[in-house]
Amino acid sequence: MLNLWLHRVAKYSVISSLLLCSNWAMASGLQVSPISLSIQARENASGLTLSNTGDNVVHAQVRVYHWSQDETGDQLTLSRGLLASPPMIELNPNDKQLIRIIRAKAPPHGSGAVADSYRILVNELPIKSPDQKSGLQFALSYSLPVFVQPVGVVKTAPKLQWSTHVQPEGKQIKLRVHNSGNGHAQLASLSFVDTTGTSIDVHKGLLGYVLPGATMYWTLKTPPSALTTGGKFKAMINGTETIQDVTLDTSDR
């Protein structure tokens, strides 16, 4: 299974640490915009802009994977449902390049059709420059979500069912989120509000995605005792703060 999520922040923290130890460490200037795409059924293509804000030439590869989820988590498989053109680029300092993301198959259609999901992986190819005598070179990697909307649907939306499950040792809780809607859910800034109105931070930042028809699980660091009195989860879902009812299941999962 491939690591899906955007690695930029983590890699920059590593770069910052190593820069303290090496005068020759080199960081890339590869930038990608936007960080996600939604392609309407009537559209045949969309686009990404890759730019080089650094001082050295950047080489990058763009690949497309179909994205699904099962009981083990996120799964990526090589796909030609979307095509990236061009798939290989070379950027001089301050250059920009438009990458066209072309829909190569019919959009989802039919009764009960849901948005189709892909991931675009943009990987910098580390190439030692002629004037680089020594040191380390860091290659950035981006993983960008792409959603192809089904025919006849103006706007897709998730429909989520939340439940928590106490783990066998009684020290952890597993969160289960099922999506029966026709669109994805991006979950972030998760907190729990108990029946007294007290709010407990559960997970700051991005928690993950739940694709249409999928069920995802996360083990929470919050102790079970904090949730057993009942309450609701509060989360940013696709950028909007939302309150979600939750049921506590004492069975294992």
Residue 185 lies in domain: 160-249
113: left (phi over 0), alpha (psi -120 to 50) or beta: beta
Residue 47 is predicted with a pLDDT of 96
For 124, what's the count of Cα atoms within 13 Å in the CB-facing half-sphere? 26
Give which of 235, 172, 243, 247 is closest to 209, Cα–Cα.
235
3-state DSSP: the chain helix, strand, coil percent, rounded to 5? Answer: 5, 50, 45
The model's pTM: 0.82
Kindly state whether residues 201 and 120 are assigned to the same domain: no
CATH of residue 170's domain is 2.60.40
Residue 133 is predicted with a pLDDT of 54
Residue 183 is predicted with a pLDDT of 97
Residue 17 is predicted with a pLDDT of 29
Residue 232 is predicted with a pLDDT of 87
153 inside domain? no
At residue 162, what are phi and psi to the nearest 5 degrees?
-110, 140
14 inside domain? yes
The structural domain count of the chain equals 2
Dist CA 9 CA 184 (whole Å):
24
Domain boundary among 119, 148, 177: 148
Q: How far is residue 32 CA from its own chain's centroid? A: 14
Kindly state whether residues 44 and 123 are assigned to the same domain: yes
Kindly state whether residues 102 and 226 are assigned to the same domain: no
For 26-62, write each residue's pLDDT tens digit. Answer: 446 899 999 999 999 999 999 999 999 999 999 999 9
Measure the CA dihedral 128/139/94/57, to 10°.
20
Spans in the chain with pLDDT lower than 50: 1-27, 250, 252-253
Domain boundary among 148, 175, 205: 148
Using the 8-state DSSP alphabet, how is residue 150 labeled?
A: P
